[in-house]
């Protein structure tokens, strides 16, 4: 393993195929990324650009059609790589009949933590995400924001070296969003490597050290956020393309001139 | 409902029971017509009931769980109206399913009858009644193959295309068998209606309870409905009368349908009530 | 192992909190108490017992099996469609372990329901936990296959053997001869003695002693050339034990053996003999119609062993449902599991009813080959029938329980787990 690189994607392609093995979508098309130890790396791109597919390949949930994905220098499906990984999906996907603390203890068990350790970390993390008061309530009755916090805590239960966050602030109110951003910065300062995707470019600008912008499965730009001369949003729009106006006139039944 | 893989599996199973049971058992009993009829109505009953319960619950529950129900009723659509429209759709899907199975039954029954005549004429037991069995085997094999080809070359959806091809193929066969001899259809069609009466009630109950309960609860409620309504309607025993060579009286069938109508209405009302009260 | 127990707890909690397990347990106990009121036997106490065990415990087993199979067939499929499975797959858990933990939780739930039903069965009047059951020892004979092999050459050279049989393959003829060997009749002429050696190696030290005052016995079914009912007379002897036989042909009868002072010197402890004192020759099939019944402990332990066998059957079927679930969507997996289960249940009886492979019709030959294959593949489940043994007071042998438990609870689910571990991540690829 490269001493510095936690994640390495080397000319990775992912083409989804139908039953007859004909290519249907080329979701990722020759993507090369490396994420260094201790940095907060942002994977940005418009909807359908291949971010989620890339993340799933990094997690070992999808296998690349070509190229190579390495996690800690290992195959993403190896137990050793998965032991050092935390993952927060775009939606929380919790077991609705478990309570918040049972959810965390369940994931602690999957990470191989002892009962005592699991209990103490569960308590710590629930306090950290502000859910200590509702620890014994079923998560099925939680709001989207609360469920998001439980999922975030679950992703941290194994004290991972690498945290992969898919849209971490989606569904959170502004205060919670700020708290998550502060948490990510604190985790990175503690030596954790973070890979995140986000649609909210302002959030990415606040948190990320380095970003790669993907569009149509290809990396169109890469760079350190601190060295950008413009805002990340302007940089993004310049690389991905301008905003297209909806053609509202025919829909509204009025003349284009009114605009 | 017709796009569900389970629907196609059930349809192929029903056709396989219809076609293979007489072929494999004919030489054991020598009662070709009866075997064909028993196999057909068993297949119709078992597979249509499974279709009515599982496919309906799946489709209705998915509507609830994916939030598309809320999206639909957020528009100018009443909740009750939405439920009734979906229940009507499910009823039409069941009708297509049942007609497909029934059409093949007509062909197999006709083939069995022809086989019986040959047996009587030559004094030799006829085990395979050629063209009709070939048609039945075709009903199992050809539509999926054609659908696979359509999927390969025109990117059509496999399950739906296979289902529709199967329906079309079987209906053509059924109509041909009827044109050759309307007698077979006239004898068996009332029996099909009798078999379908409780199944439609089960369909509406599955739809109604899906609006309130999760899949397992709705399936249990539908099973209870079946257990209650089936002996009450006594229809299968009347279908059994066919095996004694009798015909079903139209009045009997109409009476059964009249008896079933309040059950249909009750379940539809329950469904409307559940959909109105859904939060 | 911590991961295993975490997944086990989660799966078990989901069964409890979705009310599947409490409802099943309640229904099982209620059914066990309701059966005697709902279903009546043939008026005899034994008939009532048989009906109670077959319909009571059998009904609970069927209900548990179908309910848990529905859960098993939906387990991975539902988690996959709800995207929760990916959260488990990215954790440091072996996929085999995930499979086995789910299987263990479902089996445990089934075991609890069956245990409650068994306990309920003991509390119903008429069921006696102290009732003695028997080891069933058949005469030591060459296996049907060995007998068929010995018969093969002579049979093929016999001018009476049909030509179409002579043209058939060796394996087909062997199968035919094996079926015949099982039903091979032995004739016992008037005043002749038939002897059969009994192998006691599977039983304890003093197999011929009484237990709780219940002596060993012999189960016998005698017939004649005409398959008619006729009087029979004679006696059975083994070692110093003896029993008089006086009844009719065609009936399955049990004769308790009692100590006799007139035991002849030829009566060895491992040889069962029957002397025909009637005036007509008698016939019996040694592989089917004679059995020495040796006391083998009380009913409660037998019930426990039967429970173990039922649980092992459940474990195997549920692991198969889980395996299907790892590769297919929920309805398709459930449908496939039920169809395969139905075929596996039906195939042994079809095979036994249609032993003759010399069918000239291609469709019959194909159907028989497929059915025989299914019967062979599903033998780990279909060959077990603990409830029938319970109702006949036959011992569910501990050795057999260990064998099927090893096979059905450990080895075969492990095989399914390994195959699933390849399927699970690849199926995720399609999701």
Quick: pLDDT tens for C356-391: 555 556 666 777 777 788 788 877 777 778 888 888
pLDDT beyond 90 at B127: no
CA distance A81 to chain C (A): 8
Q: Which residue of C has its CA nearest to A93?
A: C84
Q: Which residue of A has its CA nearest to B150?
A: A20
Q: Which residue of C has its CA nearest to B5?
A: C332
Q: Which residue of C has its CA nearest to A158?
A: C91
Is the Cβ of B120 closer than 8 Å to some Cβ of chain C?
A: no
Residue B31: pLDDT band (50, 70, 90) is: low
Residue C26: count other Cβ atoms within 10 Å of its Cβ.
13
Residue with tokens 């030591």: C140
Of C18, C20, C332, Cβ closest to residue B6: C332
- How much is the average pLDDT of B30-57? 83
Domain boundaries defined on chain C: 2-131+297-430, 136-296
pLDDT > 70 in chain C, percent: 92
Give the C-alpha separation, B73 to C151, whole Å. Answer: 78
Q: Residue C360 has what pLDDT? A: 57
Q: C126 is written with which tokens? A: 């008429």
Question: Using the beta-carbon criterion (under 8 Å), do C20 and B54 form an inter-chain contact?
Answer: no
Residues of C in contact with B10 (CB under 8 A): 335
Q: Residue B119 has what pLDDT? A: 42
Residues of B in contact with A19 (CB under 8 A): 151, 158
Cβ-in-10-Å burial (0-12, 13-18, 19+) of C44 comes to: exposed
Q: Which residue of A has its CA nearest to C15?
A: A97
Q: What is the pLDDT of residues C22-71, one digit of tens each?
A: 999 999 999 888 888 777 767 777 777 888 888 889 999 999 998 899 89
Q: Please name the residues between 6 and 65 in chain A that touch chain B, using a CB distance below 8 Å.
A: 18-20
Chain B: touching chains (3 or more CB pairs < 8 Å): A, C
Q: Residue C22 has what pLDDT? A: 93
Q: Would you call B248 helix, strand, or coil by DSSP?
A: coil
CB pairs under 8 A between A and C: 82
Angle at C81 between CA C411 and CA B84, to 5 degrees: 125
Q: Would you call A36 helix, strand, or coil by DSSP?
A: strand
Residue with tokens 């069956």: C114
Question: Using the beta-carbon criterion (under 8 Å), do A82 and C90 form an inter-chain contact?
Answer: yes
Residue C21: pLDDT band (50, 70, 90) is: very high
DSSP character string of B211-242: TTS-HHHHHHHHHHHHHHHHHHH-HHHHHHGG
The answer to whether residues C359 and C365 touch, using CB atoms and an 8 Å cutoff, is yes
pLDDT beyond 60 at B126: no
Q: Residue B117 has what pLDDT? A: 45
Q: What is the pLDDT of residues A3-43, one digit of tens each?
A: 578 999 999 999 988 888 888 888 899 999 999 998 999 99
Reduced to 3 DSSP states, what percent helix, strand and coil does chain A have, rounded to the nearest 5? 40, 25, 35
Residues of A in contact with B155 (CB under 8 A): 18
Cβ-proximal residues to C262 (8 Å cutoff; 6+ apart), any chain = C242
Angle at A242 between CA A237 and CA A244, to 5 degrees: 140
A→C contacts (Cβ < 8 Å), by residue, are 56, 59-63, 77, 79-80, 82-83, 85, 87, 89, 91, 93-95, 97-98, 102, 105-114, 154, 158
Residue with tokens 């994640």: A7
pLDDT beyond 80 at A152: yes
- How many residues make up chain B in this entry? 279
Cβ-proximal residues to C87 (8 Å cutoff; 6+ apart), any chain = A87, A89, A93, A107, A154
pLDDT > 90 in chain A, percent: 37
Residues of A in contact with B154 (CB under 8 A): none
Write the ipTM: 0.85
Give the C-alpha separation, C155 to C149, whole Å. Answer: 10
Residue B243: pLDDT band (50, 70, 90) is: low
If residue A31 lies in a helix (H) or strand (E), which one and from where to where?
A: strand A23-36
Residue B116: pLDDT band (50, 70, 90) is: very low
Interface test with B, best of A20, A25, A141 (most B CBs within 10 A): A20
Residues of A in contact with B151 (CB under 8 A): 19-20
Q: Which residue of C has its CA nearest to A64?
A: C429
Q: What is the pLDDT of residues A60-110, one digit of tens each?
A: 888 899 999 999 999 998 999 999 999 998 888 898 889 999 999 999 999
Q: Would you call C115 helix, strand, or coil by DSSP?
A: helix
Q: Residue A230 has what pLDDT? A: 72
Question: Using the beta-carbon criterion (under 8 Å), do C332 and B23 form an inter-chain contact?
Answer: no
- How much is the average pLDDT of C171-183? 83
CB pairs under 8 A between A and B: 5
Q: C112 is written with which tokens? A: 């609890």
Chain C: touching chains (3 or more CB pairs < 8 Å): A, B
Which residue(s) pair with C241 in the sheet? C238, C259
Residue B195: count other Cβ atoms within 10 Å of its Cβ.
23
Q: What is the pLDDT of residues B135-166, one digit of tens each?
A: 888 888 999 999 999 988 888 888 999 999 99
Q: Residue C354 has what pLDDT? A: 65
Alpha helices in C82-182 (DSSP H): 85-89, 95-123, 144-157, 163-167, 170-182
**Which strands make up the sheet holding A218-224, listed edge to edge?**
A85-88, A162-166, A193-197, A40-44, A210-215, A218-224
Residues of A in contact with C6 (CB under 8 A): 105-110
Is the Cβ of A251 closer than 8 Å to some Cβ of chain B?
A: no
Question: Using the beta-carbon criterion (under 8 Å), do B128 and C329 form an inter-chain contact?
Answer: no
- Comparison of pLDDT for A46 and B233, the residue scoring more: A46
Q: Which residue of B has its CA nearest to C363?
A: B24
Which residue(s) pair with A215 in the sheet? A218
Residue C332: pLDDT band (50, 70, 90) is: confident
CA distance B248 to chain C (A): 33
CA distance C20 to chain B (A): 9
Q: Which residue of C has its CA nearest to A17?
A: C430
Residues of B in contact with C332 (CB under 8 A): 5-6, 9
Q: Would you call B205 helix, strand, or coil by DSSP?
A: helix
CA distance A205 to chain C (A): 28
Q: Would you call C197 helix, strand, or coil by DSSP?
A: strand
SS (H, E, C) chain C: CHHHHHHHHHHHHHHHHCCHHHHHHHHHHHHHHHHHHHCCCCCCHHHHHHHHHHHHHHHHHHHHHHHHHHHHHHHHHHHHHCCCHHHHHCCCCCHHHHHHHHHHHHHHHHHHHHHHHHHHHHHCCCCCCCCEEEEEECECCCCHHHHHHHHHHHHHHCCCCCHHHHHCCHHHHHHHHHHHHHCCCEEECCCCEEEEEECCCCCCCCCCCCECCECCEEEEECECCCCCCCEEEEEEEECCEEEEEEEECCCEEEEECEECCCCCCCCCCCEEEEEECCCCCEEECHHHHEEEEEEEEEHHHHHHHHHHHHHHHHHHHHHHHHHHHHHCCHHHHHHHHHHHHHHHHHHHHHHHHCCCCCCCCHHHHHHHHHHHHHHHHCHHHHCCCHHHHHHCCECCCHHHHHHHHHHHHHHHHHHHHHHHHHHHHHHHHHC
Cα–Cα distances (Å) from C196 to C189, C273, C280, C388, in that order, read 16, 6, 21, 26
Q: Residue B233 has what pLDDT? A: 66
Is the Cβ of B151 closer than 8 Å to some Cβ of chain A?
A: yes
Q: What is the pLDDT of residues B172-189, one digit of tens each?
A: 988 888 887 777 788 788
Residues of A in contact with B152 (CB under 8 A): 20
Question: Using the beta-carbon criterion (under 8 Å), do A93 and C6 form an inter-chain contact?
Answer: no
Q: Residue B101 has what pLDDT? A: 92
Interface test with A, best of B67, B152, B216 (most A CBs within 10 A): B152
Question: Using the beta-carbon criterion (under 8 Å), do A109 and C3 form an inter-chain contact?
Answer: yes
CA distance A73 to chain B (A): 39
Residue C199: count other Cβ atoms within 10 Å of its Cβ.
11
Is the Cβ of A93 closer than 8 Å to some Cβ of chain B?
A: no
Residues of A in contact with B149 (CB under 8 A): none
Give the C-alpha separation, C62 to C55, whole Å. Answer: 10
Q: What is the pLDDT of residues C151-166, one digit of tens each?
A: 888 888 888 888 777 8
Give the C-alpha separation, A253 to B159, whole Å. Answer: 41
Q: Which residue of B has its CA nearest to C20?
A: B216
**Displacement of CA B86 from its chain's centroid (Å):** 18
């Amino acid at each position: 393993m490269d001493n510095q690189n936690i994640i390495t994607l080397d000319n990775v392609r992912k083409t989804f195929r139908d039953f007859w093995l004909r290519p249907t979508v080329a979701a990722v098309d020759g993507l090369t990324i490396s994420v260094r130890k201790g940095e907060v790396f942002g994977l940005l791109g418009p909807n359908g650009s291949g971010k989620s597919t890339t993340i799933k390949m990094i997690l070992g949930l999808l296998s690349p059609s070509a190229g190579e994905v390495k996690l800690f220098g290992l195959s993403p499906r190896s137990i050793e790589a998965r032991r050092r990984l935390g993952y927060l999906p775009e939606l929380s996907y919790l077991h609705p009949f478990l309570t918040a603390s049972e959810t965390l203890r369940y994931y602690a068990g999957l990470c191989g933590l002892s009962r005592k350790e699991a209990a103490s970390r569960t308590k710590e993390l629930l306090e950290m995400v502000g859910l200590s008061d509702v620890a014994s309530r079923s998560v099925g009755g939680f709001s989207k924001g609360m469920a998001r916090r439980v999922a975030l805590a679950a992703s941290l239960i194994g004290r991972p070296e690498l945290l992969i966050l898919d849209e971490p602030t989606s569904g959170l109110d502004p205060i919670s969003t700020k708290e998550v951003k502060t948490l990510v910065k604190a985790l990175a300062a503690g030596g954790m490597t973070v890979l995140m995707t986000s649609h909210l470019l302002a959030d990415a600008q606040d948190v990320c050290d380095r970003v790669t912008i993907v569009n149509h499965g290809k990396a169109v730009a890469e760079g350190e956020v601190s060295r950008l001369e413009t805002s990340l949003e302007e940089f993004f729009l310049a690389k991905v393309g301008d905003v297209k106006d909806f053609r509202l006139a025919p829909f509204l039944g009025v003349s284009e001139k009114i605009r | 409902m017709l796009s569900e893989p389970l629907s196609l599996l059930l349809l192929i199973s029903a056709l396989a029971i219809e076609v293979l049971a007489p072929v494999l058992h004919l030489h054991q009993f020598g009662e070709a017509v009866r075997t064909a009829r028993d196999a057909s109505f068993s297949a119709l009953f078992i597979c249509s009931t499974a279709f009515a319960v599982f496919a309906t619950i799946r489709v209705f529950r998915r509507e609830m769980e994916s939030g598309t129900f809320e999206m639909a009723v957020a528009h100018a659509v009443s909740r009750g109206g939405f439920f009734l429209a979906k229940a009507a759709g499910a009823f039409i899907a069941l009708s297509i399913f049942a007609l497909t199975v029934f059409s093949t039954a007509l062909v197999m029954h006709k083939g069995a009858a022809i086989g019986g005549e040959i047996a009587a004429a030559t004094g030799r037991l006829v085990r395979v009644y050629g063209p009709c069995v070939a048609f039945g085997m075709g009903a199992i094999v050809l539509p999926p193959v054609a659908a696979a080809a359509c999927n390969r070359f025109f990117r059509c959806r496999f399950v739906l295309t296979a289902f529709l091809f199967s329906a079309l193929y079987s209906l053509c066969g059924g109509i041909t068998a009827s044109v050759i001899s309307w007698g077979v259809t006239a004898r068996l069609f009332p029996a099909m209606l009798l078999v379908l009466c409780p199944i439609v009630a089960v369909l509406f109950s599955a739809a109604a309870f899906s609006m309130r309960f999760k899949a397992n609860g709705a399936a249990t409620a539908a099973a209870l409905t079946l257990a209650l309504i089936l002996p009450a309607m006594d229809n299968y025993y009347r279908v059994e009368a066919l095996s004694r060579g009798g015909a079903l009286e139209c009045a009997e069938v109409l009476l059964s349908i009249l008896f079933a109508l309040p059950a249909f209405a009750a379940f539809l009302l329950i469904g409307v009530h559940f959909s109105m009260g859904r939060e | 192992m911590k991961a295993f127990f975490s997944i086990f707890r989660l799966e078990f909690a989901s069964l409890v909190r979705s009310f599947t397990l409490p409802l099943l347990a309640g229904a099982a106990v209620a059914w066990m108490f309701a059966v005697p009121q709902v279903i009546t036997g043939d008026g005899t106490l034994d008939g009532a017992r048989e009906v109670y065990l077959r319909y009571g415990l059998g009904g609970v087993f069927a209900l548990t099996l179908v309910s848990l199979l529905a859960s098993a067939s939906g387990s991975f499929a539902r988690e996959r469609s709800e995207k929760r499975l990916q959260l488990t797959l990215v954790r440091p858990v072996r996929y085999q372990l995930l499979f086995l933990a789910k299987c263990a939780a479902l089996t445990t739930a089934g075991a609890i329901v069956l245990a409650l039903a068994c306990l309920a069965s003991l509390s119903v009047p008429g069921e006696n936990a102290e009732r003695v059951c028997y080891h069933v020892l058949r005469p030591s004979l060459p296996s049907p296959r060995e007998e068929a092999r010995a018969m093969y050459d002579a049979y093929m050279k016999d001018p009476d053997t049909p030509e179409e049989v002579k043209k058939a393959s060796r394996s087909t003829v062997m199968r035919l001869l094996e079926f015949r060997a099982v039903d091979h009749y032995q004739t016992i002429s008037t005043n002749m003695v038939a002897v059969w050696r009994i192998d006691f190696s599977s039983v304890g030290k003093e197999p011929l002693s009484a237990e709780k005052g219940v002596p060993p016995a012999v189960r016998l079914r005698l017939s004649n050339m005409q398959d008619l009912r006729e009087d029979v007379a004679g006696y059975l002897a083994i070692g110093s034990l003896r029993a008089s036989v006086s009844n009719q042909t065609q009936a399955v009868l049990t004769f308790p053996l009692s100590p006799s002072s007139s035991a002849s010197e030829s009566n060895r402890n491992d040889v069962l003999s029957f002397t025909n004192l009637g005036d007509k020759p008698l016939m019996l099939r040694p592989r089917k119609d004679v059995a020495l019944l040796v006391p083998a402990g009380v009913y409660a332990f037998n019930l426990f062993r039967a429970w173990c066998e039922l649980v092992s059957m459940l474990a195997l079927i549920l692991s198969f449902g889980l395996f299907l679930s790892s590769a297919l969507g929920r309805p398709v997996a459930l449908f496939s599991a039920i169809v395969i289960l139905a075929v596996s249940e039906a195939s042994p009886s079809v095979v036994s009813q249609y032993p003759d492979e010399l069918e000239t019709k291609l469709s019959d030959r194909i159907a028989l080959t497929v059915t025989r294959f299914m019967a062979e593949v599903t033998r780990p489940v279909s060959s077990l029938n603990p409830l029938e043994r319970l109702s006949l007071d036959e011992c569910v042998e501990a050795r057999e329980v260990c064998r099927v438990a090893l096979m059905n609870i450990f080895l075969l689910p492990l095989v399914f787990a390994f195959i699933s571990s390849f399927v699970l991540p690849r199926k995720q690829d399609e999701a």
